[in-house]
Amino acid sequence: MIKLHADSSLLNGDAPLGFAANCNPEGIEMVNPEKVLQTLQILRERFGPRVLHSQRDPLDELVLTILSQNTSDRNSGRAFRELKGRYPSWASVLNAEASELEETIRVGGLAKIKAARIQNTLAVILEQRGEFSLDFLRDLSLHEARAWLTALPGIGPKTAGCVLCFACNQPAMIVDTHIHRVAKRIGMIGPKVSADAAHDLLEAVVPDDQMYQFHVSVLLHGRQICHAQRPACERCPLTEICDFYQAR
């Protein structure tokens, strides 16, 4: 395994002298490019090609992703529809009574926390941009756009990745709980790599035009086969390269 960064010359084999080819200087295994690409190929064959045909408004995607934290897609989608149906503009969401906004999005869970996060985020966007729009992110580099988003209150790499990949046509990696679990079990990343760190490591290996394919395929694999409890290894197409299966 080799530790990679998005701008790393190590991708081209230009490792500094004395740098071990399978680990970082501290000897901690980080990412296995070969397994990442093998997984991408095998799961593309299993689940078919995936193409993002349409994009949401970036600010809509940001709020939806905040609502999706620690809940199901069904509940977050319903909470988002309730919010959009009750408030005619983002200004009205920002100026809403906290208790009213919490009640509106309650079906999405953690309503108090999410309501405050949404209003704080809208306030910062308005202060910094003078309008309720994130369309400008589409004109920034991936690095610049991610840095701007993760500077917002409570916005981490996963939420930023969703906005950039789904709404801005940027090759951003998204690592949710399913993808993080699968990546560690297969051995795409080291067992101690956090979900936040996995974003940069996997993004450096997956080809830009396959980022959405990787996200959807590994997500489906985690949901349908590689469950957190009792993974269905007997139906898994990745057993030959999976560290978890081989150890069992």
Q: Active-site residues: which are they?
A: 158
Place of tokens 């396959």: 210
- Report CA 51 to chain centroid distance, whole Å: 17
Cα distance between residue 69 and residue 158, in whole Å = 10
Burial class of 208 by CB neighbour count within 10 A (0 to 12, 13 to 18, 19+): exposed
Please spell the DSSP secondary structure of 26-62, one letter per residue: T----B-HHHHHHHHHHHHHHH----------HHHHH
Cα distance between residue 30 and residue 69, in whole Å = 26
Structure tokens at 178: 């399913």
CA distances from 18 to 3, 21, 183, 234 (A): 14, 9, 28, 42
Cα distance between residue 236 and residue 43, in whole Å = 10
DSSP code of 189?
Answer: B
Structure tokens at 152: 């917002």
Contact, 212 vs 165, CB < 8 A? yes
